[in-house]
Amino acid sequence: MEREKTVSNSVPAKPGAIRKVFRFFLPSALCLLPFFIACKETKMNQPEMQAVAKETYTCPMHPQIIKDKPGACPICGMDLVKKTAAGEKVTDVSLNDLLRPSNQYVLSSIPTVHIQQRDEPLEITSYGFITYDTRQVGTVASNVAGRIEKLYVKHRYQRVNKGQKIMDVYSPELLTAQQNLLFLLQHDADNQVLISAARQKLLLLGMSNQQLDQVVRSGKPVFTVSIFSAYSGHIHESSPEAMQQQEATGMKDVSLITEELQLKEGMYITKGQNLFSIYNPSKAWAVLNIFSGQAGMVKVGDKVRIVPETAPDKDFRAAINFMEPFYRSDSKTATARVYFNNPNMGIPIGSQVKAVIFAGARSARWLPEEAVLTLGLDKVVFIKKDDAFIAHRIEVGMVNNHLIQVLNGLNEQDEVAANAQYLVDSESFIKVKQ
């Protein structure tokens, strides 16, 4: 019996049973095969993908600029920032942070900057115009009372040269003084004291030595005396009404250039009357307007580069010669004067100019101007806290060369959004956390 049991246990399985086993396990193995292959490929390719991935840098303002190393943007000059890979791990943000008000708490991963303490050269841009140097203004006055017999200048801004005849004047006072001199020469020629006094009186009345010698030689008085210009330049009216009109219109009204003078032949003038003013265009000022916030940084002696709008190729360098100690009427800017010689450059009077004033260096704490947002009278930056940015009010000073001075509200450890405009939109109203 035991032998029969042993024989029965060693009997091989039937072929039908084997087919059933293969029929059950084979489909399952085929289904699992792709998963094993995929896992193997993933493990093999992951190091290769990390090796292929490279760090790239781009410009925040011009994303089309992509470099494989840090540097500066060739378009705007901003520092390139590291570009975040698409598959980079994203930090988890809590639900409480997501539910905070969007006008005071912004989730973002934009680049950040730190406040920097350093000496920064100050370059102040200002605008102004070219005008006459009033220190070089000459006056043509009348030494006698009389009537204008002949006028040799006809219109305003007419060019005259030194020694040029301006007008001939008939003066009864001058005629009487000549007759007195001739009487002394004829009847009391030895009385040199009276003769010298009579000659001196005629010179003081405006006669030249040549005219006086002619009277003595001819023995006849001249009925008119000539008035000459002692300066070279442009003729301007000296009457208060004419000067006010010129100041009101400036050089804009071209009709004033050819407008006739108020003084005309046949008119009477008084002794000591200012007839004309003569402005010398070869001596000029550049009058620069400086905003009140920058006026304290500019001082006499600061170097300045001036570029005339009418002739940009004739830019020149000079220095601040004078700071007016007051604000002109209806003006919110301080005025600085730059003296220069104009004959070689020939810059027209009245030309608009742009100036860059080099006001030395200022040691301060600086931020890029783009990092500060203006909200009315307030200045705001976005300080990074964990993975978000919080609006924060700061106190600022001067703005210089795309940098803004920070007076209070930040320290060197604070991370600030490099461009605050990226964190706001047109419909946002930023609420600053107190």
What pLDDT does residue 106 have? 65
How many residues appear in the chain? Answer: 434
Could you tell me whether strands 352-368 and 57-58 are parallel, antiparallel, or unpaired per DSSP bridges?
unpaired
**In 3D, which of 199, 239, 346, 354 has the Cα closest to residue 284?**
346
Which spans in 205-332 are helix H?
Answer: 209-218, 240-249, 292-295
What pLDDT does residue 85 have? 58
Separation CA 412–CA 245 (nearest Å): 58
The backbone torsions φ and ψ at residue 395, rounded to the nearest 5 degrees and listed phi first, read -105, 130
**In 3D, which of 249, 270, 268 has the Cα closest to residue 259?**
249
The residues, any chain, with a CB within 8 Å of residue 62's CB and separated by 6 or more, are 73, 75, 76
Separation CA 343–CA 418 (nearest Å): 49
Separation CA 45–CA 329 (nearest Å): 77
The residues, any chain, with a CB within 8 Å of residue 169's CB and separated by 6 or more, are 142, 144, 146, 147, 148, 149, 224, 225, 226, 227, 269
Separation CA 190–CA 159 (nearest Å): 47
What pLDDT does residue 234 have? 86
Separation CA 152–CA 263 (nearest Å): 11
What pLDDT does residue 430 have? 58
Q: What is the 3-state secondary structure (H, E, C) of 334-367?
A: EEEEEEEECCCCCCCCCCEEEEEEEEEEEEEEEE
What pLDDT does residue 240 have? 52
**In 3D, which of 346, 341, 361 has the Cα closest to residue 401?**
361
Decide: 156 and 256 in contact? Cβ < 8 Å.
yes
Separation CA 402–CA 176 (nearest Å): 75
What pLDDT does residue 98 have? 47
Separation CA 191–CA 402 (nearest Å): 83
Which spans in 166-266 are helix H?
Answer: 172-187, 192-204, 209-218, 240-249
What pLDDT does residue 97 have? 53
Neighbouring C-alpha atoms within 13 Å toward the C-beta of 102: 6
**Position 122: which residue type?**
L
Decide: 196 and 188 in contact? Cβ < 8 Å.
no
**In 3D, which of 319, 395, 326, 397 has the Cα closest to residue 359?**
319
What pLDDT does residue 354 have? 94
What pLDDT does residue 306 have? 93
* Termini Cα distance of the chain: 100
The residues, any chain, with a CB within 8 Å of residue 340's CB and separated by 6 or more, are 284, 285, 286, 306, 316, 318
**Position 406: which residue type?**
V
For 114-155, the pLDDT digits (tens) are 888 888 888 888 999 999 888 888 889 888 899 999 999 988
Task: Please identify every stretch of the chain with a pLDDT value under 50, giving residue numbers as ranges.
Answer: 1-13, 21, 38, 41-52, 87, 89-90, 95, 98-99, 243-244, 246-255, 427
Distance of CA 112 to the CA centre of its chain: 29
- Cα Rg of the chain, angstroms: 46
